[in-house]
A and B are shown apart, each in its own frame.
Chain A
């Protein structure tokens, strides 16, 4: 396998936009090309992440429609849907296309347009990331999925409601330092606990918002990297694992996260102790507690106190979701995986301003797509190095 570098990244502000996915895509893809100083005609292959085409309207061939806006035409363009991890796999396929030797330059893009639909419509659409026959049609919702996880985590390990709420506090603190974050507002634990109940025991401020946005990254083979940047960021590892769906599985242990991260750590020749910062899929507060454990940053069951003690804050042992995460930065589903990559790349280049992790050399991005039968649908883990 060949070494692959990220030489350009770009993203829109996350939040409520009047623009369509084409306009959002044009902005972010163009920004990634500008960042790399690259002509659209240099791009040889592209992968596009998008999950909720039924909301935006362009349910099919949206990759071609978005990339046409910047003159990326004629080349192989493939859309990828893996729920919230769609863009992570657009990134992974881009890496694989170059690492395998088939192509030298790839564009990974992810986009989503969610605002404009009602919250009930969004909940119904997102429930499609569960087992639609056996769960969604019977009323499952994603706040409900993670509420059920939270209840088990509290029951099995004594995790407190305050520890879970603190994830929201920390990530909104970080988001307040990120100009591209949907929310620039800090909250207290008390405010999280007093926010509107959504699915017991989780409240509104335990849930990520409904968002629009786009993120993109340009990847090239190692020998081309100096042509585009003086600060290449290397793809040290790409791990992917799907749900195991074993009978009676423990919903507080996401085996796909463990499998994907162990694969990634092995590829990179690194362990969790070598990671300087991580972006993880905090769709709900409790999710970050699970990922903190399953990625090996804290022992199983100790994620709650580990986070509450400040270990994952900026300046802590392993800063997590310096961007604000999904909770504060926002979660345009099909763009999220690449927005995580944008944050890690900028951190490793030292471009993150007030939320910069000093001396960061290795960053991890973890994204989860779908949840059904008390297991994650699919998980992506990428490790990037300066």
Chain B
């Protein structure tokens, strides 16, 4: 999967956001060993129980439910119109803001979504590779 690595014509938006799993790249989060709250991206201090240094790395679920979304007909430079984005609720209790892909006509609140890796925008002719959720 060449598109998951940075190349001359593409770069990963932030390597720290991802972790390798047998199923491919997943979002890299942190889970508090004391209270169980899970975060994306990784962090050090739990803001629910204020425990420091007891976070464990977790690979977040690649599946989630669409909380809300929009299809944008106007946007900043680098995005090809129209493009879609929304919030996806993961089973770990994490809400992720994400570009949305697939068939926009199938986007609806509550839809089951699956994470993919791909270009989300262009930056001076270079594809910026990030996570994208698509309807299953």
Q: Which residues of A contact B (CB under 8 A)?
A: 119-121, 123-124, 127, 131, 133-141, 143-144, 147-149, 151-152, 155, 196-202, 247-248, 251, 373-374
Contacts and interface: CB of A to CB of B under 8 A. Distances in A.
Contact of A251 (B68, B73, B77): B68
Contacts of B75: 120, 123, 139, 141, 144
Interface in B3-55: 13-14, 37, 41
Contact of A123 (B69, B76, B87, B94): B76
* Residue of B41, B72, B77, B93 with most chain A CB atoms under a 10 A cut-off: B72
B93 A139 contact: no
Contacts of B89: 248
Overall SS of chain B's interface:
strand
A151 B73 contact: no
Contact of A247 (B69, B70, B85, B93): B93
A152 B73 CA distance: 19
Contacts of B41: 134
A119 B86 CA distance: 22
Interface of B: 13-14, 37, 41, 67-77, 79, 83, 85-87, 89, 93-95, 97-99, 109, 120-121, 130
Contacts of A143: 70, 72, 74
Contact of A144 (B13, B72, B120): B72
A141 B71 CA distance: 11
Given A138-B99, A148-B87, A248-B95, A198 B68 contact: no
User: Which are the 4 A-B pairs with shortest beta-carbon distances?
Assistant: A124-B76, A147-B70, A148-B68, A199-B70
B79 A139 contact: yes
Most buried by B among A131, A136, A152: A152
Contacts of B121: 139
Given A140-B85, A148-B87, A127 B74 contact: no
A151 B97 contact: no
B38 to A, nearest CB: 9
A247 B32 CA distance: 14
Given A120-B75, A123-B75, A139 B85 contact: yes
Given A123-B75, A155-B109, A251-B68, 12 more contacts: A123-B76, A124-B77, A139-B121, A141-B72, A141-B74, A144-B85, A148-B87, A151-B70, A152-B68, A199-B74, A200-B73, A247-B37
Contacts of B77: 120-121, 124
Contacts of A149: 68
Contacts of B13: 137-138
Nearest to B85: A139
Contacts of B69: 148, 151
